[in-house]
Amino acid sequence: MKKRNIPLLIMLGLFLVLILTAVIAAVFGVPVVAMNELELSIASFDFWTIGHFLWGVSLFVIAFTIGWIIKNRTGAPKDPINEPEFKSFVLYWVIIFIISGLWELIENTLLLLAGMKVRPDGPANIITDIIIWGIGGCVSWYMTDLMFLSDKYLRAYYIYGFMCLTMGLIIFIAFGFA
């Protein structure tokens, strides 16, 4: 199996876990999709779901870019540029999961105590949020691999990452403080 296909397999696994989480939550009477404000933060999926996906994509781009700069900060540019190592991609993706877990912890403790959040997230919502971050990271991981297949993808990769980060901020500002 090609290493290039691993993020796709991880995404498939995460989608299966996502579906399983939503089904188990539904069996216990938890709404799958928040259809009103009362179900927000309890349902498996709410309007924040797209923001979690976009943050996963953006943070992978940021982690990769910082790692790439650190790894290639020599006096003279290398030609050709070496393809990043597989273990670096895994590390950047794991960083996404760590950040998403920390965010859920902060969101459900500090933001709750500060009054910026009305009630804590339900277990199904927390699990799906973290998985969605991971799926966003996998999308970026795959796009990064594409970037190294052809230099035509380089500009699109950074534009896509910047757009996702911007959309994440817009969603947070529009829905978080509305």
Query: Would you tell me how many other CB atoms lie within 10 Å of the CB of residue 7?
Result: 23
Contact between residue 157 and residue 33 where contact means Cβ atoms under 8 Å apart: no
pLDDT at residue 135 tops 90: yes
CA distances from 54 to 43, 138, 166 (A): 19, 11, 9
CA distance 97 to 76: 34
Mean pLDDT of 149-154: 62
Domain boundaries, the chain: 42-71+82-176
**Predicted confidence (pLDDT) per residue in 45-94, tens digit:** 988 888 899 889 889 988 988 888 787 776 665 555 566 788 889 999 99
Is residue 28 a contact partner of residue 166, using CB atoms and an 8 Å limit? no
Contacting residues for 122 by C-beta, under 8 A, at least 6 apart: 25, 30, 41, 42, 43
Q: pTM value?
A: 0.81
What backbone torsions phi and psi does residue 33 show, to the nearest 5 degrees?
-125, 130
- What pLDDT is recorded for position 164? 73
Q: What is the mean pLDDT of the chain?
A: 84
C-alpha–C-alpha distance, residues 81 and 103, integer Å = 34
Task: Considering only residues 86 and 4, tell me which one the structure prediction assigns the higher pLDDT.
Answer: 86
User: Does 178 have pLDDT greater than 50?
Assistant: no
